Amino acid sequence: MARRSAVALLHEPSREPSRDEAEIPSAALRLAEALLFGAPAPLSAAALAARLPPGSDVEALMAELARFYAPRGIGLVRVAGAYAFRTAPDLAPALRGEAPEPRKLSRAALETLAIVAYHQPVTRAEIEEIRGVSTSKGSLDLLLETGWVRLRGRRRTPGRPVTYGTTPAFLDHFGLDAVADLPGLDELKGLGLIEGRLPAGFRVPQPSDDPALRADEDPLPEADDAGPA
């Protein structure tokens, strides 16, 4: 008999499982599904493993759930290296108006956010150098308030300027697993976000949040109240 979806079996009336079906970790699958539904934020593989029966293959369970929910109104996605249920993208028009409209960012704030995302860790002076204009304190404060940008640390250079980076909330909002998933130059062109003739040597940096990037900065203490610098 062909092996059937483990999740489909969970929703059928109780019956004596066949030998093949008995091998399916239905208890672990049901618990993983419940944990994800009840979680207020995406759950990492480690967080799931800590709550699931010993020996559970988290990656296999997530793959099974993803297959089951793929054609449904919600789906399992990876965001910021963790797992969460999200509504299907094609249903977005029907769901508009159900949630409050998010605060719109100014052009200056959007440019600042893009620079932080692609160049992190980056200082305010570096943001201004890339934009070619001064960056108002309000733009950075707004991005910190949204929770998409955070103070990372202090650069080991004269003046010890604060460095900025993105947060898991930024990845979650934009549906990214990691900052490396941000679109490159060709993708940006294809989306119509970059038009016209580009200057010679123009490139879009490869965004990364690799731990090695923190080698030239010191982490901020929890109670650091220096604010943007």
pLDDT recorded at residue 110: 87
- CATH 3.30.70.20 is right for the domain spanning 107-219: no
Q: What average pLDDT does range 99-120 have in this prediction?
A: 80
Does residue 20 surpass a pLDDT of 50? no
Residue 119 banded pLDDT, cuts 50, 70, 90: confident
Across 197-217, average pLDDT: 60
Percent of the chain with pLDDT over 70: 68
- Fold: same for 15-91 and 107-219: yes
What DSSP line would sit under 117-136, residue for residue? HHH-SEEHHHHHHHHSSPPP
Flag whether pLDDT at 65 surpasses 90.
yes
What confidence tier does 180 reach under pLDDT thresholds 50, 70, 90?
A: confident
Q: How is residue 86 written in tokens?
A: 């999200």
Domain assignments of the chain as residue spans, ordered by start: 15-91, 107-219
Chain segment 214-223, per-residue pLDDT in tens: 556 777 765 3
E-strand ranges in 115-211 read: 122-123, 149-155, 162-166
Average pLDDT over the chain reads 77
Distances 114 to 24, 101, 108 between C-alpha atoms, Å: 45, 21, 10
Does residue 41 carry a pLDDT above 90? Answer: no
Q: Domain 15-91: which topology?
A: Arc Repressor Mutant, subunit A (1.10.10)
Q: How confident is the model at residue 2 (pLDDT cuts 50, 70, 90)?
A: very low
User: How far apart (Å, rounded) are the C-alpha atoms in residues 226 and 13?
Assistant: 61
Q: For residues 149 and 112, what is the distance between their CA atoms, to the nearest angstrom? A: 10
Residue type, 204: V
Confidence of residue 3 (pLDDT cuts 50, 70, 90): very low
